[in-house]
Amino acid sequence: MIKAIAHIIGVVALSLVATSATAQDLIARQSPVDRRMNMINAVKFGKATTKSTADLSNPAAHIYTNWTESFRNATGFLAAGSRIDLRGFVMPTDSRKVTSNYGSRWHRQHEGMDIKVYVGDTIRAAFDGKVRIRDYNGGGYGYYLVLRHPNGLETLYGHLSKQLVEEGQIVRAGEPIGLGGNTGRSTGSHLHFETRICGTPINPAEIFDFEHQDVTGNFYTTRRNYGKESQRPFMETLAAHTSNAEASFVEVAAVQSEQASAEPQEAEESAPATTKKAAPQRRASAARTHKVRKGDSLYSIARENGTTVEKLLRANGLKSNAVLRPGQRIKINEL
């Protein structure tokens, strides 16, 4: 009798456990999938979340024309409307505390974000890529690294106490590349993190949400042209012959400005002959201006408009430490 009772109790207990496990599985299946946890699991088990056979020996070759330039002068071209694939990311640090944002700071442009880390904290590669620069800048970044990624981004990691990778080394997203530190021009241990396209800085907050340890979306769509306009035909031809695997990282959209630029030409062609001759003279004497956008600097404005910072300062009567305001008009050429 006792054995029979014990058997019944055991069957009931097992039934409850099975029911509980089934309920837990159902709840788990209904839970939202977090991109960061997906990536952590992928790194843990040694597999990528996105299937890619992109050539990491020369990442983003369809965008860039040079490997050895400084990260501020990386030449290439990426059109407005291009989609940069952010899938397969890993946050460069587990820290959620941003101590300084992108933008104007101390009368100069802060071209990245400062994230609170401690000396010795692990710093990781944000995406698959290749180490392009491993260097030291005593008056600025201290020990720093620049990685180029197949999706077209370049990421910079500054003020490191130690660099764990070498120039030319291929790294995977989430792989340790350095240790947090306080080297260079720094008032406390932190990670200075930058994201750039063709040498032009992008606010990292448009891509990475450090507070929630996630990216802002699966893709980042460019809102402007990056790089030299003269490189457009070459770059588009090269992109057209890029393998499907490489092209999947950056889907170059056909968002160009040919229609806008064609309108003045059509007006000139329909104008009287005397007007046609006078038009070039008027254009040459007119002063072009640039409307300052959030995040613009004299350096980025000069690059975008094919001039130099010195010429901008002279044309506008500005000093080198001038603070730019969104909406401000900057003369590009002198009358």
Determine the pLDDT at residue 206.
Answer: 93
Which residue type occupies 187? T
pLDDT tens across 75-107, in order?
Answer: 899 999 999 999 999 999 999 999 989 987 767
pLDDT tens across 14-43, in order?
Answer: 454 444 444 444 433 333 444 444 444 444
Q: Contact at 8 Å (CB) between 335 and 282? A: no
Q: Contact at 8 Å (CB) between 200 and 59? A: no
- In the chain, the percentage of residues whose pLDDT exceeds 90 is 44
Quickly count: other Cβ atoms within 10 Å of residue 292's Cβ.
17
On the question of pLDDT at 247 being above 60, the answer is no
Determine the pLDDT at residue 77.
Answer: 92
CA distance linking residue 179 with residue 100, whole number of Å: 19
If 0-12 CB within 10 Å is exposed, 13-18 middle and 19+ buried, where does residue 148 land?
Answer: buried
Which pLDDT band holds residue 1 (cuts at 50, 70, 90)? low
Q: Contact at 8 Å (CB) between 298 and 309? A: yes
Determine the pLDDT at residue 309.
Answer: 78
Determine the pLDDT at residue 330.
Answer: 86
Q: Is the dihedral of CA 31, 33, 36, 42 positive or negative?
A: positive
CA distance linking residue 82 with residue 59, whole number of Å: 17
Mean pLDDT for the stretch of residues 277-299: 63
On the question of pLDDT at 334 being above 70, the answer is no
Mean pLDDT for the stretch of residues 131-139: 95
**What b/e readout covers 80-101, taking b as 16+ CB neighbours within 10 angstroms?**
ebbbbbbbbbbbbbebeebeee
Long-range own/partner contacts, residues 97-103 (CB < 8 A, 24 or more apart): 97/210, 98/210, 98/211, 99/188, 99/190, 100/190, 101/205, 102/201, 102/203, 102/204, 102/205, 102/295, 103/203, 103/294, 103/295
Determine the pLDDT at residue 324.
Answer: 82
The pTM score is: 0.57
Q: How far is CA 132 from the centre of its chain?
A: 15
Q: Which domains, from first to last, does the chain contain?
A: 71-247 (2.70.70.10), 258-331 (3.10.350.10)
Q: Are strands 83-85 and 250-251 parallel, antiparallel or unpaired?
A: antiparallel
Q: What is the largest CA-CA distance in the chain?
A: 117
Angle CA 62–66–71, to nearest 5: 105
Which pLDDT band holds residue 3 (cuts at 50, 70, 90)? low
CA distance linking residue 43 with residue 207, whole number of Å: 20
Quickly count: other Cβ atoms within 10 Å of residue 47's Cβ.
9
pLDDT tens across 153-176, in order?
Answer: 999 999 999 999 999 999 999 999
Which pLDDT band holds residue 268 (cuts at 50, 70, 90)? very low
Nearest in space to 226 (alpha carbons), one of 200, 254, 206: 200
On the question of pLDDT at 149 being above 80, the answer is yes
pLDDT tens across 58-78, in order?
Answer: 999 999 989 998 988 898 999
Kindly state the DSSP code that residue 139 receives in the 8-state scheme: T
Angle CA 206–209–213, to nearest 5: 155
Kindly state the DSSP code that residue 264 receives in the 8-state scheme: H
Q: Contact at 8 Å (CB) between 124 and 146? A: no
